[in-house]
Amino acid sequence: MTRTRLVEIERDILDKNNGIAANNRGLFVADDLLVFNLLSSPGAGKTTLLVRAVSELKCSRWVGVIEGDQQTSNDAKRIQAAGVPAVQINTGKNCHLDAAMIGDAYRRLPLLSGGILFIENVGNLICPAAFDLGETCKIVVFSITEGEDKPLKYPDVFAASSLMVINKIDLASLLEFDVGKAIEYARRVNPKIDVIVVSARTGEGFAALYAWIDRQAGRQRRAFEDKGR
Ligand SMILES: Nc1nc2c(ncn2[C@@H]2O[C@H](COP(=O)(O)OP(=O)(O)O)[C@@H](O)[C@H]2O)c(=O)[nH]1
Ligand SMILES: [Mg+2]
Ligand SMILES: [Zn+2]
């Protein structure tokens, strides 16, 4: 196959995905949902962070989770054990979620009107960045065990994300991770990216995360009201 033909196929796949993502976005807006698409390398702590966050957030609003992994339902079970509905997608040979998978999974969740849908993408710092799922925004979870240079090595995920959550800060005294440098590198790729430092293990930084989520809800409400005028 020629390189031009490969590029054409890739463009077709992304165009088709974008159309379905626009449909998803329509559904999410109609249901007044905030939708966060979480990206990271495997093991950065997405599920641990979600278990803690949904346990807290479910007290004040509807919360649901779509879990993506190549194999197993382990992560959906961890979320369900926290008392929140979760649907598992197994992508098999695929290394990312696409908009069609999200459309199907969303129909299998109870109605979450006015609430929050979290999507945990497949652990992979590369192609999930290219696939719009219809989310409100992407969040990259980046743990301090990964080395501060990852925003420079895998820029697309950081460029596509509105928020970088730096996780596992409880391990800071054991590692030589320079938080300032990590933020500088991320902002080199994406000057507008927000940053919150947390420990999903201890809960440090989660108040700032909830405040950030509240700000996104306020922003969405204002955009909705402006449209209504
Ligand atoms: N020390 C520490 N370990 C964490 C933290 N968050 C997650 N982990 C651990 O990191 C490993 C991977 O976490 P997991 O949530 O499954 O990551 P995921 O693959 O991104 O969903 C598990 O052993 C977690 O217990 C944290 O904030 N601090
Ligand atoms: Mg996980
Ligand atoms: Zn992929």
The C-alpha atoms of residue 112 and residue 79 are separated, in whole angstroms, by 16
The mean pLDDT value for 108-126 works out to 96
Per-residue model confidence as pLDDT tens digits over 9-60: 888 999 999 999 999 999 999 999 999 999 999 999 999 999 999 999 999 9
Query: Any idea where the domains of the chain sit in the sequence?
Result: 3-228
Ligand 3 centroid distance, CA of 228 (Å): 38
Of 104, 105, 137, give the one whose Cα is nearest residue 33: 137
pLDDT of residue 52: 98
Which range (160-174, 193-207, 211-225) has the least confidence? Answer: 211-225
Is 90 exceeded by the pLDDT of residue 206? yes
Ligand 3 centroid distance, CA of 125 (Å): 9
pLDDT of residue 2: 84
Ramachandran quadrant class, 171 (left: phi over 0; alpha: psi -120 to 50; beta: rest): alpha
The C-alpha atoms of residue 56 and residue 210 are separated, in whole angstroms, by 9
Atom of ligand 1 nearest to the CA of 41: 20
Atom of ligand 1 nearest to the CA of 169: 27
Q: Which two tokens stand for residue 202?
A: 């201890």
Atom of ligand 1 nearest to the CA of 120: 21
Per-residue model confidence as pLDDT tens digits over 47-100: 999 999 999 999 999 999 999 999 999 999 999 999 999 999 999 999 999 999
As beta bridge partners, residue 69 has: 90
Ligand 2 centroid distance, CA of 52 (Å): 13
Rg (Cα) of the chain, in Å, rounded?
A: 17
**Of all protein residues, whose CA lies closest to atom 13 belonging to ligand 1?**
45
The C-alpha atoms of residue 112 and residue 173 are separated, in whole angstroms, by 40
The C-alpha atoms of residue 145 and residue 171 are separated, in whole angstroms, by 8
SS3 string, the chain, reads CCHHHHHHHHHHHHHHHHHHHHHHHHHHHHCCCEEEEEECCCCCCHHHHHHHHHHHHCCCCCEEEEEEECCCCHHHHHHHHCCCCEEEEECCCCCCCCHHHHHHHHHCCCCCCCCEEEEECCCCCCHHHHCCCCCCEEEEEEECCCCCCHHHHCHHHHHHEEEEEEECHHHHHHCCCCHHHHHHHHHHHCCCCEEEECCCCCCCCHHHHHHHHHHHHHHHHHHHHHHHC
| pLDDT confidence tier of residue 162, bands split at 50, 70 and 90 | very high
| pLDDT confidence tier of residue 1, bands split at 50, 70 and 90 | confident
The ligand placed nearest to the CA atom of residue 10 is 3
Mutate to test the pocket of ligand 1, among 48, 49, 144 (most ligand atoms within 8 A of CB): 48
How many other β-carbons are positioned within 10 Å of the β-carbon of residue 14?
15
Which residues, chain by chain, have CB under 5 Å from ion ligand 3?
Answer: 95-96, 127
Cβ atoms of residues 111 and 84 within 8 Å:
no
pTM: 0.96
CATH superfamily of 3-228: P-loop containing nucleotide triphosphate hydrolases (3.40.50.300)
Atom of ligand 1 nearest to the CA of 42: 19
Per-residue model confidence as pLDDT tens digits over 131-154: 999 999 999 999 999 999 999 999
Q: Which residues line ligand 1 (CB under 6 A)?
A: 40, 42-48, 123, 167-168, 170-171, 199-201
Is 80 exceeded by the pLDDT of residue 224? no
